[in-house]
Amino acid sequence: VQLQACGGGLVQVGGSLRLSCAASGGIFRINDMGWYRQAPGKQRELVATIRSGGSTTYADSVKGRFTISRNNAMTTVYLQMNSLKHEDTAVYYCNVDGTYYSGLVFDSWGQGTLVTVSS
């Protein structure tokens, strides 16, 4: 599966960005879609996930500021980030798992998009 992530960039503290990640390539069904991030010198951490049924999970650090959503076809996942803080600076990765038409399962990562929050 191919994951194309975009939307990162440079934004000031308090600003907003919207990330998107489109999945393609022989996909029969997508289960969970999510966003993770990795700041310099730190481990990759979960930011938010959305399950096939629509339920969502957020890291405590982003609750109330970030919103994860997806399109009706469930092939694109979005992350609306508001009230950005310095500590949100990281490379953001999308993650998607599901099943190919062949029956094989996949758990794939996007290439990462850099979000930099400055004063």
Separation of alpha carbons 22 and 30, rounded Å? 12
pLDDT tens digits for range 61-116: 999 999 999 998 889 999 999 999 999 999 999 999 999 999 999 999 999 999 99
Q: What is the pLDDT of residue 74?
A: 87
Instruction: Find, among 14, 23, 13, 11, the residue nearest to 78 by Cα.
Output: 23
Q: What is the pLDDT of residue 90?
A: 98
On whether the CB atoms of residues 118 and 10 are closer than 8 A, the answer is yes
Give the whole-number percent of the chain exceeding pLDDT 90. 94
Q: What is the pLDDT of residue 72?
A: 87
pLDDT at 118 exceeding the cut of 90: yes
